[in-house]
Amino acid sequence: MATETASVLLSPIKTCFLLLLGGLMSEAAQEQQGSLYMWIDANQARILIGFEEDILIVSEGKMAPFTTDFRKAQQRMPAIPVNIQSVNFTWQATEQAEYFYEFQTLRSMDVDIMDNPTVNVPLLGSVPRRPSVVQVGFPCLGDQDGVAAFEVTILVMDAGGNIILRTPHNAIFFKTCQREMIGYLSMSPEMIG
């Protein structure tokens, strides 16, 4: 009540200034509630691209610029090589922020080469407060050489139901698989003969 009375007595310019300040302060207060982060950690990045550096995918609740032109990024993205069976993503909801995720699709389009991709977390849940690993696995069947196309789509929402992160529509990834030789090696030459 007291502040209302005060603002009535202020000049329009001062009122404007106070409103602006109030706006900035409420934004700052929102930031203090924390945010969503997702990245590929340096160790995993070294294995994937040879640079030991965190790759930020989502920072302060916003997707990294490289993800906006996803199609272009995808064209430069080679098939996941034979020696990589899984990729670790790390995520965290800082402070009091609540984020809910759902893996909507985990689907192999070449089931004779690779089974459906896997994740090591429940398909539906909330993003942990501590940095936590989501491991996405690419289960090659080992029956034949080839490249499998697959889809992984995830949706992340904040507590207000706003979509923070969503895999682009029609995002398709590729995984190179190899026929497993173990069976052959353990066989005697006569058996292969």
Ligand X SMILES: *[C@@H]1O[C@H](CO)[C@@H](O)[C@H](O)[C@H]1NC(C)=O
Residue ranges binding ligand X (CB under 6 A): 43-44, 47, 88, 133, 135
Question: Which residue's beta carbon is nearest to the bound ligand X?
Answer: 88
Is 106 or 164 the residue whose CB approaches ligand X more closely? 106
93 — phi, psi (to 5°)?
-105, 115
SS3 76: helix
62-63, strands of its sheet edge to edge: 62-63, 55-59, 36-40, 86-93, 132-137, 118-119
* Burial zone of 156 (CB within 10 Å; 0-12 exposed, 13-18 middle, 19+ buried): buried
- β-strand 55-59 against 118-119: which pairing, if any? unpaired
Q: How far is the CB of 176 from ligand X (least distance, A)?
A: 18
d(CA 24, CA 17): 11
Is 54 or 110 the residue whose CB approaches ligand X more closely? 54
Q: How far is the CB of 47 from ligand X (least distance, A)?
A: 5
Is 57 or 149 the residue whose CB approaches ligand X more closely? 57
Is 67 or 88 the residue whose CB approaches ligand X more closely? 88
Q: How far is the CB of 60 from ligand X (least distance, A)?
A: 24
Q: How far is the CB of 48 from ligand X (least distance, A)?
A: 9
